[in-house]
Amino acid sequence: DYKACAADCDTAIGIDQTLSKAYFRKATAMKGMGRIPDALKTIQLGLVHDPINKEGMRQRDALKGMTDKMTEAQDQNAMGFSRRALVIVEQLITEVGTNVKDVNVLKMQILLKLQRPEDALNMSNAMMRAGYSGDVSLLMTRADCLYSMGDIDNAVKHLQQAMRSDPDNATARKELKRVKEVADVKKRGAECYKAQDLDGAIEHWT
């Protein structure tokens, strides 16, 4: 029960902010929840209070290796080398398993760049069943999958759910506005088509 474990660690830290073991245990729980960057930050906070702790240093090095690979894969994907990024992520999954949320979301984003939205959506379905249905990054990536497959209405619903989970998320707000505008243009094209205004339909759908 990683969530309850992290909460107990927060309680312990609230009592004694120098209790390094609480930071290390919380990092282990966060890793279990798939929050690799957050786990690394927590480990580093623990090492401030106990800089020579062997367990903490071992966890830090392992988590840093994971985050470095994730950063490399993100950079490769952003530069257009998505196949190379996918190889890196697959290697990472071999090391950390298939249940790390951040890694899975990154793989989905890479699959989208490779124009494989169905595969990315199938991954997201498994994650939703695993208990990540309210996760903002997953909801936004699912919206990208659905949008890529032409299911604009469901893409809007996912972005709206992401906004309910995180009302201050500027990226989700901007994407929701953009996708709604696309939906409106598509609707106007359909209205033109029904009215047999074929030129208007072509203009809007284009």
Task: Write the burial class of residue 88 (CB in 10 Å: 0-12 exposed, 13-18 middle, 19+ buried).
Answer: buried
Q: Is a pLDDT exceeding 90 seen at residue 129?
A: no
User: How distant, in Å, are the alpha carbons of 30, 75, 154, 172, 193 from that of 151?
Assistant: 33, 28, 6, 17, 19
Task: Write the burial class of residue 180 (CB in 10 Å: 0-12 exposed, 13-18 middle, 19+ buried).
Answer: middle
pLDDT number for residue 149: 92
What single letter denotes the amino acid at residue 105? V
pTM over 0.85? The answer is no
> Does residue 51 contact residue 60 with C-beta atoms inside 8 Å?
no
C-alpha–C-alpha distance, residues 153 and 134, integer Å: 19
C-alpha–C-alpha distance, residues 71 and 15, integer Å: 35
pLDDT number for residue 174: 93
Work out the pLDDT band at 127, boundaries 50, 70, 90. confident
Comparing C-alpha atoms, which of 131, 170, 128, 130 is closest to residue 145?
A: 128
Q: Is a pLDDT exceeding 80 seen at residue 97?
A: no
Of the chain, the percentage scoring pLDDT greater than 70 comes to 100
Q: Is a pLDDT exceeding 80 seen at residue 118?
A: yes
Work out the pLDDT band at 134, boundaries 50, 70, 90. confident
C-alpha–C-alpha distance, residues 120 and 143, integer Å: 11
pLDDT greater at residue 130 or residue 118: 118
